[in-house]
Every structure is written in C-alpha cells, then in structure tokens.
Amino acid sequence: MSFERKMPMDYDFQMPSFRLDGRVALVTGGSRGLGLGMALALAHAGADIAIASRTADELAAAEEMVRAIGVRTLILPTDVGDVDAVRGMIGKTVDHFGRLDILVNAAGINYRRPLDTFTPQDWDTLMAVNLKGAFFACQEAAPVMRRQGKGKIINVGSIVFEISIPNIALYTISKGGMRQMTRALAIELAKDNINVNAIAPGRFWTRMTDAFFSVPDLYESAVSVIPMGRPGAPSDLAGATVLLASDASDYITGQTIFVDGGWLVNGGVKA
C-alpha cells in the first residue's frame, strides 16, 4: 500500500457499498444457528457461500436455504478441531470458487459445568474447536487474501470477550483467546489490506443455549438484564456481518461489535 503525504480531503466519496457480488465467503459453523444466519446475510448481499461443519444433513439443509437466495454454494463436511481438515476446507473453497474474500469463524461449542468437572480432554476438545481451528483457518486464508489484495475475517466471539458468567470457564477462556487473536492478526495483516474483526453476540436462543432458555426461570432471569427485553435471533447479526464483510468497513480492524440488545452496557442490572 502506498499513500500520498497530504491532508486527505476526499469529500467527493460515494455511499460505500455493502454489496458483496462476485465475492466468496466461507462460514465455519454455517449449518445452523448464528453461523447459518451470517451465511444467509452474506448471501443476501450477493456473496457465494461455502459452509463447513460436521453434520451432513444439516449442511444439506443449510445449502438449500442459501442457494434459494440465488448465489452459488459449496458444503464442506469438516471438523474444525482437526488442523489438516481446516487447511483442506480453505483449499477446497479456493479450488471450487477460484478465490476467498471473506472468512467467518463461527463454529463453536460450550460446556456449561462447574470448574472441578473439567478434564484435560475437555480442555483440548473445546480449545481445538473454538480457538485452534479458527487460528489455523485465518493462517491458511491469509495468503489467499494477500494475493487477492484484500480480505475480511470475522471471528464470532461472545459477551464473554468482556465479562464472565459462572460455569462456562473453558468457553470463556477460549473466547478471551479469540479476542486477542483478532487483535494480533489485525495488526499483522493490516499491511495486506486484510481486516480482522469480531462480532460478540449476547444471549441468543440457538441449539447451543436451548437447554438454558427452555427453563422458564432461566429464560426470565436472562432476559431481565437485556434492556431490549428478548434473546437475540440469527437475523440480528445480519447488519454487523455485512458491514464487516463489505468495503464499508475497509478502515475498521481489530475491533469487536457487541450485538447484545444492550446487555453489556447494562452491567448486569435488571432492565
């Protein structure tokens, strides 16, 4: 990148485009829940979509939903806890579509249990999916984006980027690592015109949180601290996702957008 050394008074700009036509996005964990919502948002903006996760019938159902929007799709059965599989996932996307413009790391798991129940195997499994897989996906995608002269990486974090909640220690540690990974890669890849940002959802009712939200008392206490008075839905991530994937965010990197109905700034006080 080279810049002219003078005050940049480029006031004759046009409205930045949020369109993603001709771009290719790969969404890990895109077969259901928040990842699927993000994949659909990117498809609505015009991107072709590759989806990676483990469960074949859910991948097929997600592919049908995305294809119905009118973009090209690719499904990639992948365990993101396996680094070789992660490398293969990026390679197959580039082989199929000829490029990769947007990487969304949304695959994730959570164990909701007290501290003394966790085993070393739990640690390895959770960190492999939530952190290691995302890191090696970024590492593999970066040279492709560098060659193309531009790229967008979006990591799906959590409100636990910033606060702590009881009984999800491993998850909280993994997401804390993901926040710093977002910052570390943002400064390292900025010279390559690759933006690395995160979206941190608050409380969303998905398969991951269904056992929690299905209990009326837990639902009520969770929602009582969310100023907007409801859990999030996959469509609530659409705006932030398209912003961070599009040219409209070209000077934003290393940042996190919290999408939480006001929960974080409410500081846990009852709404």
Interface residue list for ligand NAP (CB under 6 A) = 28-29, 31-35, 53-55, 58, 78-81, 106-109, 129, 156, 158, 201, 203-204, 206-209
Cβ–Cβ < 8 Å for 103, 136:
no
Q: Position 271: which residue type?
A: A
Q: How many CA atoms lie within 13 A of 205 on its CB side?
A: 15
Q: Of the two residues 78 and 195, which places its CB atom closer to ligand NAP in the complex?
A: 78
Cβ–Cβ < 8 Å for 18, 248:
yes
Shortest spacing between CB 182 and ligand NAP, in angstroms: 13
Structure tokens at 48: 């072709």
Annotated catalytic, 171? yes
Q: Of the two residues 210 and 247, which places its CB atom closer to ligand NAP in the complex?
A: 210
Residue 204 forms beta bridges with which residues? Answer: 232
Residue of 11, 111, 171, 251 marked active site = 171
Shortest spacing between CB 247 and ligand NAP, in angstroms: 25
Q: Running DSSP on this structure, what letter comes out for residue 13?
A: P
Cβ–Cβ < 8 Å for 34, 204:
yes
Shortest spacing between CB 176 and ligand NAP, in angstroms: 12
Shortest spacing between CB 169 and ligand NAP, in angstroms: 14
Shortest spacing between CB 269 and ligand NAP, in angstroms: 20
Structure tokens at 117: 């129940």
Structure tokens at 106: 């949304």
Q: Of the two residues 163 and 187, which places its CB atom closer to ligand NAP in the complex?
A: 163
C-alpha distance from residue 175 to each of 71, 110, 151 (Å): 31, 10, 22
Q: Of the two residues 109 and 264, which places its CB atom closer to ligand NAP in the complex?
A: 109
Cβ neighbours of residue 67 under 8 Å, at least 6 residues apart? Answer: 73
Q: Of the two residues 71 and 75, which places its CB atom closer to ligand NAP in the complex?
A: 75
Active site residues: 171
